């Protein structure tokens, strides 16, 4: 049972009557270009007149700020509940210890031990305790910062060093979402933090690269999205002529490839300097403008429940 400290969000004038369209950028493999794509798309969308909120949900290593370079205006602490035991009430029945799969609360003999470092903050021990001996104690696990840069409203979460559970921090980041276009930059992989980022998004873009590792992890991410019943498409980064394994896979699985970004040393060099590649490398902006246009179509259609045949994902 996680709880967050609620404070006033940064004022944001969302266009009236425009519900948020939430598009998440995920990948199986790390380092495929989620942040590159998400940040450049955010700028292109803002230039097209959208009210854009960029949410950096990769709270273990948020790096979108390196590119958008926002001015931070507020910061709030995120806490999550850990069990606090009242031994005057506890009759050592052991139900809490049987429930906790992480052994964060363990009954040994007639003693009940808690291990805050193992707790995933689900609150289950409090629910199963028949005598109400367990209450919740707030433990700081991270922070959420809000600001703005390059015409984009910017929000990022940061998990405290040593803290175990990213999802409560990600959830707090998502609470800062506003109307307009919301871009969620997910962590890599397919574990709990990714699920927390992606669920309730309208559309997911899986950023991959045409390598055996990229393809292997893409297939795992595709399985995840199918289980979550989320509509999605694939974006191939560092695309090379002749490297067709991802395209072959997508064709086989009837998955739409929404865009390709070429494997170009100038892009890598510009990225490594923290620049926006739409502004520094010829031909990249037009790729992102096309991506933005298509995404608005397919994601908007997916949200309205009228998605086209080429869009993957169960209703």
Partner 1 sequence: MKVVVTSTGPDLDSRMDSRLGRAEKYVFVDTNTLETIASDNPAGFASAGAGVQSAKFIVEQGAEAVLTGNCGPNAFSALAAGGVEVYVGSCLTVRDMVEAFLGGKLRRVSGASVESHFGMRGNS
Q: What span, in angstroms and rounded, lies between the C-alpha atoms of 143 and 287?
A: 34
Q: Which of 115, 219, 226, 280 binds partner 1 (CB under 8 A)?
A: 115
Q: How far apart are CA 285 and CA 193, in angstroms?
A: 31
Options 113, 127, 227, 251; binder of partner 1; rule CB under 8 A: 113
Nearer to partner 1, 20 or 195 (CB): 195
Q: Is 194 in the site for partner 1 (CB under 8 A)?
A: no
Binding of partner 1 at residue 118 (CB under 8 A)? Answer: yes
User: What residues contact residue 272 under an 8 Å CB cut-off, 6+ apart?
Assistant: none
Tell whether residue 106 is a contact of partner 1 (CB under 8 A): yes
Q: How far apart are CB 12 and partner 1 at their closest, in Å?
A: 38
Q: Is 299 a binder of partner 1 (CB under 8 A)?
A: no
Helix (H) or strand (E) holding 26: strand 21-26
Shortest reach from residue 121's CB to partner 1, in Å: 13
Binding span for partner 1 by CB under 8 A among 41-49, 107-115, 179-187, 228-236: 107-115
Give CA separation, 171 vs 47, 88, 177, 198, in Å: 28, 34, 10, 11
Among 108, 127, 131, 314, binds partner 1 (CB under 8 A): 108
Give the residue with the Cβ less far from partner 1, 6 or 111: 111
| Contact between 14 and partner 1 per CB under 8 A | no
Question: How far apart are alpha carbons 271 and 213 in whole angstroms?
Answer: 22
Q: How many residues bind partner 1 (CB under 8 A)?
A: 13
Residues between 142 and 171 that touch partner 1 (CB under 8 A): 164
Q: How near is the Cβ of 112 to partner 1 at its closest, in Å?
A: 9
Q: Is 117 among the residues that bind partner 1 (CB under 8 A)? A: yes
Which residues is 109 bridged to in the sheet?
A: none
Pairing of strands 2-4, 52-56: unpaired
Q: Which is nearer to partner 1, 100 or 148 (CB)?
A: 100
The one among 49, 109, 130, 305 contacting partner 1 by CB under 8 A: 109
Q: What are 29-33's contacts with CB under 8 Å, separation 24+? A: 29/188, 29/208, 29/209, 29/213, 29/214, 29/216, 29/217, 29/218, 30/188, 30/189, 31/188, 32/188, 32/207, 32/208, 32/209, 32/214, 32/237, 33/207, 33/209, 33/235, 33/237, 33/238, 33/261
> Which lies closer to partner 1 via its Cβ, residue 164 or residue 301?
164
Q: Does 141 contact partner 1 by CB under 8 A?
A: no
* Smallest gap from residue 219 Cβ to partner 1 (A): 23
Q: Does 139 bind partner 1 (CB under 8 A)?
A: no
- What whole-number distance in Å separates Cα of residue 9 and Cα of residue 4? 13
Query: Does 87 participate in binding partner 1 (rule CB under 8 A)?
Result: no
Q: Where are the alpha helices (DSSP H) in 188-283?
A: 192-198, 212-228, 245-252, 265-272, 277-280
Please state the φ and ψ torsions of residue 248, each to the nearest 5 degrees. Answer: -65, -45
Question: Of the ranges 38-46, 95-103, 132-140, 254-262, which one interacts with partner 1 (CB under 8 A)?
Answer: 95-103
| Binding positions for partner 1, rule: CB under 8 A | 97, 102-104, 106, 108-109, 111, 113, 115, 117-118, 164
């Amino acid at each position: 049972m996680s709880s967050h400290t609620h404070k006033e969000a940064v004022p944001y004038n969302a266009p009236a009557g425009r519900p948020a369209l939430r598009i998440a950028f995920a990948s199986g493999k790390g380092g495929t270009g989620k942040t590159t794509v998400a940040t450049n798309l955010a700028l292109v969308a803002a230039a097209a007149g959208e009210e854009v909120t960029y949410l950096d949900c990769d709270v273990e290593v948020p790096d979108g700020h390196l590119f958008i370079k926002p001015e931070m205006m507020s910061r709030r602490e995120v806490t999550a509940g850990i069990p606090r035991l009242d031994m005057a009430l506890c009759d050592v029945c052991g139900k809490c210890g049987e429930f906790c799969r992480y052994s964060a609360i363990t009954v040994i003999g007639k003693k009940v031990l808690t291990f805050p470092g193992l707790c995933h903050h689900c609150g289950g021990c409090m629910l199963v305790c028949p005598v109400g001996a367990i209450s919740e104690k707030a433990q700081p696990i991270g922070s959420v910062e809000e600001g703005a840069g390059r015409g984009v409203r910017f929000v990022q979460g940061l998990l405290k060093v040593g803290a175990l559970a990213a999802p409560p921090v990600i959830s707090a980041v998502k609470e800062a979402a506003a109307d307009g276009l919301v871009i969620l930059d997910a962590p890599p992989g397919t574990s709990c933090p990714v699920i927390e980022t992606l669920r309730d998004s309208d559309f997911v873009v899986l950023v991959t690269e045409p390598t055996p590792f990229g393809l292997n992890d893409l297939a795992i991410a595709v399985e995840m999205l199918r289980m979550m019943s989320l509509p999605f498409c694939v974006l191939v980064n560092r695309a090379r002529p002749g490297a067709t394994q991802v395209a072959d896979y997508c064709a086989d699985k009837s998955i739409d490839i929404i865009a390709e970004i070429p494997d170009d040393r100038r892009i890598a060099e510009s990225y490594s300097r923290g620049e926006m590649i739409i502004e520094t490398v010829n031909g990249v902006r037009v790729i992102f403008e096309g991506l933005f246009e298509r995404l608005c179509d397919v994601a908007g259609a997916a949200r309205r429940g009228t998605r086209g045949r080429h869009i993957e994902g169960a209703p």
